[in-house]
Amino acid sequence: MASDLKTRVREGWQQTLRGILERARAMGPQAVLAFDLDSTLFDNKPRQARILREYGLAKSHEKLGQCEPQHWDSGFDMRGAMRNCGLSHEEVEEHFPRVRAFWLERFFTSDYCVDDEAIEGAAAFTHVVADSGAHLVYVTGRHEAMRAGTEACMRERGLPVPGEGRVHLLMKPNASDNDDAFKREAHARLGQWGTLIAAFDNEPTHANDYLRRFPQAQVIHLATDHSGRPVTLLEEIVSVPHFSHES
């Protein structure tokens, strides 16, 4: 599914991004732009690799102890990453339950999300949005306990930080809250700042939800990674590989 979605990237996507920035400049503080974080503005493969590597080191498993971001070539497919590290099918199945538990204890934490890298062009693009005077709203499935690490990573990777100008960060109150439900609830909050003119997300479900709730907005799908749910993107949604939009 991830590779199929990447084929949706069509010629002219850079102009779509430039058009969004032009509209943000024209509308200023009346405009609202919403951005997801994981696999939209941030590449979390370094975080994923660190966790798998630490498991390998803790269990004296040499192959997993050498895990690198490039081993995570299929989104959140942990079994695929383990195979890419050199494990056999039998070894993957033997270790997977323990690796999964190890991962769950670490992935959704401030201590680990600081390892994320910015998607190409994300820092420059979001700064243009912030400088336009529009409201830049990060809408993420991360929970509040990850706020400190998230903001630290934004600062380190050069993205606008919440609290500076019209930059906001909406996070789930609790880790157990459903991502889909939280993002749908966040839609109503976006209206308090103005008119949503664009939304960016890597998850087809969330991108579709934005377009259904805000049919006049430009919805952008990041053709990076996603959860793998078999969801078809609505035709009006434009897929882009990253945020570097200069031709």
- Indicate whether this model's pTM tops 0.85: yes
Eight-state DSSP code of residue 63: T
Amino acid 5: pLDDT: 58
Structure token digits, residue 121: 């062009």
pLDDT given at position 245 = 85
Per-residue tokens: 232: 């078809």
CA distances from 184 to 152, 213, 221 (A): 26, 9, 17
Taking alpha carbons only, the member of 189, 114, 101 closest to residue 152 is: 114
Report which residue type is found at 30.
Answer: Q
In angstroms, the Cα distances linking 166 to 24, 41, 104, 137, 193 are 13, 18, 33, 8, 9
Pairing state of beta strands 117-118 and 238-240? unpaired
Cβ 182 vs Cβ 172: under 8 Å = yes
Which pLDDT value is given to residue 247? 58
**Rounded CA gap, 240 and 243, in Å?**
7
Residue 138: the pLDDT is 98
CA distances from 178 to 19, 140, 143, 184 (A): 33, 11, 10, 10
Report the candidate in 226, 102, 91, 97 with the shortest Cα–Cα distance to residue 82: 91
Give residue limits of the domains in the chain. Answer: 5-41+119-240, 44-113
For the domain 5-41+119-240, what is the CATH code? 3.40.50.1000
Mean pLDDT, contiguous 10-residue spans, the chain (247 residues)? 60 94 98 97 95 93 93 84 95 94 95 97 98 98 97 98 96 95 94 96 96 97 85 94 86
Specify the pLDDT at position 162. Answer: 97
**Could you give the residue ranges of the DSSP H alpha helices within the chain?**
2-6, 13-27, 45-58, 78-84, 89-104, 110-113, 122-131, 147-157, 179-190, 204-213
